[in-house]
Amino acid sequence: MKVKLLIVSIILLSFTTKKDIEPIGTVKCNGVYIDKYETTISDYKEFLNFISSDAFFSQDYIQNAQLDSSLNIIYSGPHRKEELITPIVGITTLQANEYCKWRSEMVTFAVNYPDFVPQCRGKKCDIPPTYTEILEKNKEAKTVIVYRIPTQEELEITKNRIKKRNKSLKLLTQGPINIIENVGLRCVAEIELNHDINPN
């Protein structure tokens, strides 16, 4: 049996009980959980850094994932303060779908296998799992999170509860987009609690 819930959420999730899911950094409106803020450059930079360092992804894939550099300033090296608060703009539907897909796998892995998530102790950090290893582990995940682009209706019912760092930013929704120069992203996620998986 699978129990499905809809949320619009950031990557981190907090599970208060086995049956209760409480998204962090979200607000609830009409049964929908939505991010308080738009996806930032820092969020998307994690995606770019990951795919650029993992052999699973081709050079064509990596190139197609790059945001328009005339609209987004992404610095190399550690995250800068401005990247943490600046929303991405000009993201295409294809890029958003791939980001959501990657995010789904990463969050599913982190939720189900916290002991496998790499940790840093001083200057020493654990070797992170490869994307192939993550995909294999997620086949047995008890809780599966699948992110996607929201519908216009989902954004409408929550518009009075969310905060905008960029008030002129149009959020990407399912369906055709005529102008992409000033389009940002929030993600909806379907969460499945798969009780058919044996926890042992």
Mean per-residue pLDDT over the chain, rounded = 79
95 close to 64: Cβ distance less than 8 angstroms? yes
CA distances from 92 to 5, 132, 179 (A): 26, 25, 10
Q: Token pair for residue 185?
A: 């992203």
Instruction: State whether the Cα torsion 155-157-163-166 is positive or negative.
Output: positive
Greatest pairwise CA separation for the chain in angstroms = 51
Domain ranges of the chain: 2-39+94-194
How many Cβ atoms from other residues are within 10 Å of residue 51's Cβ? 18
Region 46-51: mean pLDDT is 95
Rounded to 5 degrees, φ, ψ at 194 are -90, 100
* Residue 191 three-state SS: strand
DSSP conformational letter for 57: S
Residue 103's nearest CA partner among 13, 28, 195, 5 is: 13
Give the residue, 118 or 140, on which the prediction is more confident: 140
Q: Say yes or no to pLDDT of 50 above 90.
A: yes
pLDDT (tens digit, 9 = 90+) per residue, 12-37? 444 433 445 555 666 676 666 677 78
Instruction: Round to whole Å and give the CA distance between 182 and 124.
Output: 40
Greater confidence (26 vs 150) lies with: 150
Whether 63 has a pLDDT exceeding 90, the answer reads yes
> Parallel, antiparallel, or unpaired: how do β-strands 170-171 and 120-121 relate?
unpaired
Confidence of residue 45 (pLDDT cuts 50, 70, 90): very high
- pLDDT score for 196: 61
Terminus-to-terminus CA distance in the chain, angstroms? 17
Instruction: Report strand pairing: 170-171 vs 183-184.
Output: parallel
- Asked whether the predicted pLDDT for residue 7 surpasses 70, the reply is no
**What's residue 157's pLDDT?**
80
Q: Exposed, middle or buried by CB within 10 Å (0-12, 13-18, 19+), for 123?
A: exposed
DSSP H helices, 8-130, are: 41-52, 59-65, 81-85, 93-112
Give 64's DSSP letter.
Answer: H
Q: Is the pLDDT of residue 126 over 80?
A: no
